[in-house]
Amino acid sequence: MSITIRSQLSGGARQAVRRSIQALIVSLMPALVWAGPVDINTADAATIAKELQGIGLSGAQAIVAYREKNGAFRSVDDLRKIKGIGAKVLERNRANIKLDGAKK
């Protein structure tokens, strides 16, 4: 089918279709591109879940519970102490995890 469609489109129309498809792909890319920095020492669970890739609401609630029980995170790597947060999730989000709220 794509051969038939391709042969029926002029050069300009083909480029317009290509641009439309590229725009669609970009709009459907994972939230990683648009994820914002989040301070895991002050953010609520909903914010953590929204901003960090691969961490859902239950994982975010575990982060908040750990913080409330053990105090502020001192390093990003401390998140590995929480069940369900592995090296891949941590590395995917490292640039967006902030620790500004850590008590010194």
Q: pLDDT tens digits, residue range 37-75?
A: 999 999 999 999 999 999 999 999 999 999 999 999 999
| 68 and 48 belong to one structural domain | yes
Q: How confident is the model at residue 18 (pLDDT cuts 50, 70, 90)?
A: confident
Q: What are phi and psi of 12, to 5 degrees?
A: -65, -40
| 62 and 15 belong to one structural domain | no
| 25 and 41 belong to one structural domain | no
Range of the domain at 13: 2-30
* Coil/strand/helix, residue 78: helix
- Number of domains the chain contains: 2
Tell me the C-alpha to C-alpha distance, in Å, between residue 78 and each of 37, 53, 60, 82, 89: 17, 17, 14, 8, 13
CA neighbor of 35 nearest in space, from 54, 21, 17, 18: 54
Asked if residues 79 and 85 have their Cβ atoms less than 8 Å apart, the reply is: yes
pTM value is 0.65
Mean pLDDT of 77-102: 92
Q: What is the pLDDT of residue 31?
A: 45
In a domain, 74, yes or no: yes
In a domain, 104, yes or no: no
